[in-house]
Amino acid sequence: MTTAQRINLQLKRVPAWPIYVAGALVPCWYLYLGLTGGLGVDPVKAMEHALGERALQLLIVVLAVTPLRDVTGVSLVRFRRALGLVTFWLVSCHLAVWLVLDVQILSQIWADILKRPYITIGMLAFVLMIPVAITSNNLSIRKLGPKRWKRLHQLTYACAGLGAIHFVMLVKGFQIEPLVYLGIVLALLAMRLPRPVKRAVA
């Protein structure tokens, strides 16, 4: 038995539900920090940024599941649905903080979406995530069929790219961290591109 097979055998014994619990507690933790002064002088902006960054990090983990299996043989596929749904939850909380605690004024929200490209891109990524999240269940796989379901969930690739671009455009000035995230996302997406088949020389 290979090392990867031994790891996969151990992973089968690990339940997915702790991922949901941990994901549900993340916004609560940041809310607690905000109320107790742990997020600095602008807790709303800090909470908004932290939730968005945690969501992007989890989305990168989701994208890495398939390349990790292909390269090392270690499979985290059974945890991918939980990771994806927690990602959507964190993005929703990130958006809720912006809507309810930051902007607050409905007319200003719409104006920001239309006038600020990084917000437009972020909202587009969120909208694309909705059908993916709604169909992340076995019933949807049976209703849509595996091929159509898989095609629909390829929207995750666009969400990851848009989310990384949103982060790059959001920060002020030249910062390395957002570019690192963008580079990782592009690398993980590039690993999914079909490779040219080498023809045997006669």
Nearest to 158 by CA among 70, 59, 65: 59
Dump pLDDT digits (tens) for 110-155: 787 878 899 999 999 999 999 999 999 999 999 999 999 999 999 9
Provide the CB-side half-sphere exposure for 35 (13 A, CA).
Answer: 6
Residue 78 falls inside a structural domain: yes
Is the separation of the CB atoms in 90 and 26 below 8 Å? yes
DSSP letters of 7-66?
HHHHHTTS-SHHHHHHHHHHHHHHHHHHHTTTT-S-HHHHHHHHHHHHHHHHHHHHHHHH
- Unique residue bearing structure tokens 């964190």: 90
* pLDDT score at 196: 64
Residue 21 falls inside a structural domain: yes
The total number of structural domains in the chain stands at 1
Residue 200 falls inside a structural domain: no
State both tokens at 132.
């993916």
Instruction: Quote the domain boundaries for residue 158.
Output: 3-190
Residue 196 falls inside a structural domain: no
Exposed, middle or buried: residue 103 (CB in 10 Å: 0-12, 13-18, 19+)? Answer: middle
pTM, rounded to two decimals: 0.91
